[in-house]
């Protein structure tokens, strides 16, 4: 294995470890609200990209159209989102985030932040500015691919 391949492997592992820990922290809140991991990702996507059609949501989450429709049904029943007909294009129906969906996202994110805050207490200013800069660059370069 080349040096680059070895480092790639380590980087993927480390990101996965960090994420598994964060996922577990937020998970108890999602359980309490009966929200699945896929629903949580759907809510995040809608918040990031704005009201989406079922087709767009499916593309973002890499799920089939029928799964996106089923997901939308469940989230609508759980009062996390609602279907709203587009004002400009009357044929299009978009999923809008409802207050309960917004609150679920905020609760999970706040829990994750408070955990990261605890971890960062052990950091010097320089250490975490450096970490943040490294991660920012990584996320930006990933988004450009």
Contacting residues toward its own copies, per CB under 8 A: 4-5, 7-12, 14-24, 27-28, 31, 36-38, 41, 44, 60-64, 109, 112-113, 115-120, 122-123, 127-132, 134-139, 141-143, 145
Identify whether the C-beta of residue 57 lies closer than 8 Å to the C-beta of residue 43.
Answer: no
Nearer to its own copies, 103 or 127 (CB): 127
124 contacts 101 by C-beta, under 8 angstroms: no
Contact 63, 69 (CB under 8 A): no
- Per-residue tokens: 97: 């985030």
- To the nearest whole angstrom, how small is the minimum distance from the Cβ of residue 93 to its own copies? 23
Contact (CB, 8 A) for 73 and 58: no
Smaller CB distance to its own copies: residue 14 or 79? 14
User: Which H or E run includes 83?
Assistant: strand 81-85
Which residue number, 84 or 132, has a Cβ lying nearer to its own copies? 132
Closer to its own copies by Cβ: residue 27 or 83: 27
Least distance to its own copies from the beta carbon of 62, Å? 4
Q: 93 — phi, psi (to 5°)?
A: -115, 130
Q: How far is the CB of 95 from its own copies (least distance, A)?
A: 18
Helix (H/G/I), strand (E/B), else coil: 125: helix
CB of 141 to its own copies, least distance (A): 5
Cβ at position 100, least distance to its own copies in Å: 20
- The one-character DSSP state at 53 is E
Q: Which is nearer to its own copies, 14 or 96 (CB)?
A: 14
């Amino acid at each position: 294995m080349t040096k680059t391949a070895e480092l790639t492997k380590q980087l993927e592992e480390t990101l996965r470890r960090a994420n598994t820990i964060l996922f577990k922290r937020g998970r108890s809140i999602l359980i309490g609200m009966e929200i699945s991991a896929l629903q949580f990702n759907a809510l995040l996507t809608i918040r990031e990209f704005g009201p989406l059609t079922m087709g767009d949501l499916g593309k973002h989450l890499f799920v089939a159209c029928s799964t996106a429709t089923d997901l939308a049904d469940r989230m609508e029943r759980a009062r996390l989102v609602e279907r709203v007909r587009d004002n400009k294009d009357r044929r299009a129906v978009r999923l809008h985030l409802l207050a309960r969906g917004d609150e679920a996202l905020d609760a999970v994110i706040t829990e994750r932040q408070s955990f990261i805050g605890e971890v960062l207490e052990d950091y010097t200013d320089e250490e975490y500015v450096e970490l943040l800069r490294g991660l920012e660059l990584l996320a930006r370069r990933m988004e450009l691919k």
